[in-house]
Chains A and B, each alone.
Chain A
Amino acid sequence: MFLYALLSGLTLGGVYALVALGLTIQYGVSRTLNLGYGEFLIGAAFAVFVMFGTFGISPYLLAIVVLPGAFALSWLVYRVMLMPIVRRARSPMALEIDSLLLTFGLLFAIMGIMLLMFGSNYTNYSYLSVPVRVMDATVALNRLISFGVAVVVGIIAYILLMHTRTGMALRAVSVDPVGARLVGIDVNWAAGLAFGLGGAIAAMGGILISTYMTFTAEMGVIFTMKALIVVIMAGVGHVVGALVAGLVLGLIEAFVAAYLDPGLTVAVIYAVFLLTLIIRPQGIFGRVAR
């Protein structure tokens, strides 16, 4: 049972880590919280569901079209919807509230479109759900692949952010937007790019999850909340923190489900979240703002 919980925790945590990574990039750089984030994940899940059903192409290969699409849409969301309120925001607090209201609306708009197209039925399809033996436990191959892809995407994102000039610029904006403007970085360019990257990462998460999980048009908000918990627990804008905290969250869920009760997972997650907020309000890896 231990090995089974560990494996299912790692596969789940891998996706949580990935989804949190996308949100922390969006939120950290643009300072606008995207409540419609999870809709991009579910949108991608439906997109591969339809395309896999129609053309029979592997969902993993479909990432080649779905990810750029998600990037472009997210980028547009920032440029068209959020930039006007960023421009007229009088204070960071006002921007926070305006962006929450706006992306709350976005959540319902995208969800409504998906409900119209797919209804509110549970959707799933079968792809590579062949059992694989890992030591004493069996796992579905699609879950293993999903974990592997999450790890690879996480590493690529880390390298891009830490070791490229553009990545350094994105980090600079997330640490100090005023300082970034003073070295010639166009903060709106950076925020648009971060939104696009975040959206693409969410879509990757959606593709991975769709291969082994049942999903509905209304499920986006669950992923937004999970990602948000991870991001806040880790400290906003902290890339490695989001990856670690996401993995830990997945493990906690799996072990609680295996040893206590599957119905308790949400309660335990929120308890851990609350505890973190009480002990370290700036996040486990976050630094106190001065």
Chain B
Amino acid sequence: MLEVSNLSVRYGRHLALENAALNVAKGEIVVVLGSNGAGKSTLIKGMAGLVRTEPGAKITLEGTSLHKMPAHRIVDAGLALVPEGRHLFSTLTVNENLMLGAFLPRTRARAEESMERVFAVFPKLKQRLTQIAGTMSGGEQQMVAIGRAMMTCPRLLLLDEPSLGLSPLLTSELFRALPSIATTGTSVLLVEQNSHQSLAIADRGYLIEKGTITGEGTAQELLASEEVQKAYLGM
């Protein structure tokens, strides 16, 4: 359903991402593994329209081309991003954050139903609706950020290092939630440094290094491969 090819991003003279290509099928969880500065965030921001991409790229979501679309229209097309740093509306309540996720006319009518879906994945949020989002712990804020993205009724959910800054316990709690999102038909693409836990829940994975995608395989293949074990799993 998502097909990306020839995606390049340049920051000034520095080529941060070169001819990246990947695809995600419906209901699939795909992880992009890479170390700091490998171009993971750039890849995901390029897809979401948050950074300027080089001409010639192809990004299609169920046949609709997203390339060069402004970020807010990409959301309407069905691609939602949970960004690094979360970018929550920190002075607004949890409820307002979630309701803003249903800002678009396409998602407004389904807001209640979406809210139930969010509570099914993160029951904790139900008791926190009136809390100011900025006063929550990092893990809870990440839940709100994912919940907000779910409110946009995405076909594909992008997650930029959701485990960053979270304790191992919270990370596993968060990762356990992702398959339940995928079973509702929403595909998930996440970029991570945390290879163990992300590969445990993913169907497939890609490896990214110095701005280029260097390998791909099923989660089992990657877990077993020597290259991955050495570079990412510390074995």
Q: What distance in Å separates the Cβ of A247 from its nearest Cβ neighbour in chain B?
A: 22
Q: Which residues of A contact B151 (CB under 8 A)?
A: 183
21 A-B pairs within 8 Å (CB atoms) are namely A168-B96, A168-B100, A171-B89, A172-B92, A175-B92, A176-B88, A179-B87, A179-B88, A181-B71, A182-B75, A182-B81, A182-B87, A182-B149, A183-B101, A183-B104, A183-B148, A184-B103, A184-B107, A186-B70, A186-B72, A287-B90
Q: In the bound complex, do residue B83 and residue A178 qualify as a contact, i.e. CB atoms below 8 Å apart? A: yes
User: Smallest distance from the beta carbon of A230 to chain B beta carbons, Å?
Assistant: 19
Pair B76/A176 contact, Cβ less than 8 Å = no
- Interface residue ranges of B5-38 to A (CB < 8 Å): none
Q: Which residues of B contact A175 (CB under 8 A)?
A: 89-92
Select A287's contact among B73, B100, B134, B152, beta carbons within 8 Å: B134
Asked if residues B104 and A184 are in contact (CB atoms below 8 Å), the reply is yes
B99 on the A face (CB < 8 A) = yes
Is there an interface contact between B103 and A185, defined as CB atoms closer than 8 Å? yes
Give Cα A290–Cα B134 distance, bound, in whole angstroms.
10
Minimum CB distance partner of A182 in chain B:
B81
Q: Would you call A185 and B96 a contact (CB within 8 A)?
A: no
Bound-complex Cα distance A183 to B73 (A): 10
Q: Closest Cβ of chain B: how far from A38's Cβ, in Å?
A: 28
Q: A90 to chain B: closest CB distance in Å? A: 10
Confirm or deny: A169 has a beta carbon within 8 angstroms of a beta carbon on chain B. Answer: yes
A86 within 8 Å of B by Cβ? Answer: no
| Contact in complex: A181, B50 (CB < 8 Å) | yes
What is the minimal beta-carbon distance from A94 to any residue of chain B, in angstroms? 14
In the complex, chain A residues 176-213 whose Cβ is within 8 Å of any chain B Cβ? 176, 178-187
Q: Mark B99-123, 1 if CB is under 8 A from A, else 0.
A: 1110110010000000000000000
Q: What is B's interface to A at a CB cutoff of 8 Å?
A: 48-50, 70-73, 75-76, 80-81, 83, 86-92, 96, 99-101, 103-104, 107, 134, 148-149, 151-152
A172 to B148, CA, bound (A): 13
The A87-134 residues at the B interface (CB cut-off 8 A) are none
For chain A, the bracket of interface size reads: 10 to 19
**Bound Cα distance from A181 to B72, whole angstroms:** 5
For the complex, would chain A's binding face be called helix, strand, loop or mixed by DSSP majority?
helix
Report the minimal beta-carbon distance from B76 to chain A, rounded to whole angstroms. Answer: 5
| B75 in contact with A176 (CB, 8 Å) | no
Residues of B within 8 A of A168 (CB): 92, 96, 99-100
Q: State the CA gap A168–B151 with chains docked (Å).
A: 16
Query: A interface vs B, CB < 8 Å?
Result: 165, 168-169, 171-172, 175-176, 178-187, 287, 290
Name which of A169, A178, A183, A186 has the most chain B CB atoms within 10 A of its CB: A183
Q: Is A165 touching B91 in the complex (CB atoms < 8 A)?
A: no
- Given the interface pairs A171-B92, A175-B89, A176-B88, the reply to whether A182 lies near B71 with Cβ below 8 Å is yes
A172 to B91, CA, bound (A): 9
Report the minimal beta-carbon distance from A1 to chain B, rounded to whole angstroms.
Answer: 41
Beyond known contacts A179-B86, A184-B73, A185-B72: 7 more, CB 8 A cutoff: A168-B92, A172-B89, A178-B87, A181-B49, A183-B151, A186-B70, A290-B90
Bound-state CA distance A182–B134 (Å) is: 18
Query: Are A178 and B50 CB-contacts (below 8 A) given A165-B103, A183-B75, A183-B100?
Result: yes
* B103 x A182 contact (CB < 8 A): no
Contact B76 A184 (CB under 8 A): yes
Q: Are B70 and A182 in contact (CB under 8 A)?
A: no
Expressed in whole angstroms, the minimum distance between the Cβ of A259 and any Cβ of chain B is 38
Cβ B152 vs Cβ A184 within 8 A: yes
Contact present for A176 and B100 (CB under 8 Å): no
Chain A residues with Cβ under 8 A from B81's Cβ? 182
Q: Which residue of A lies closest to B149 (CB)?
A: A182
A227 and B86 CA atoms in complex are apart in Å by: 33
Query: Is B92 a contact partner of A182 (Cβ separation < 8 A)?
Result: no
Contact B88 A183 (CB under 8 A): no
Most buried by A among B75, B76, B89, B149: B89
CA distance A165 to B96 in the complex (A): 10
Top 4 A-B pairs, shortest CB-CB distance:
A179-B87, A184-B75, A181-B71, A184-B104
The reply to whether A187 and B72 contact each other, CB–CB distance below 8 Å, is yes
Cα–Cα, bound, A186→B71 (Å): 8
Query: Which residue of chain B is the closest to A187 with respect to CB atoms?
Result: B72
List residues of chain A with CB within 8 A of the CB of B100.
Answer: 168-169, 172, 180, 183, 185
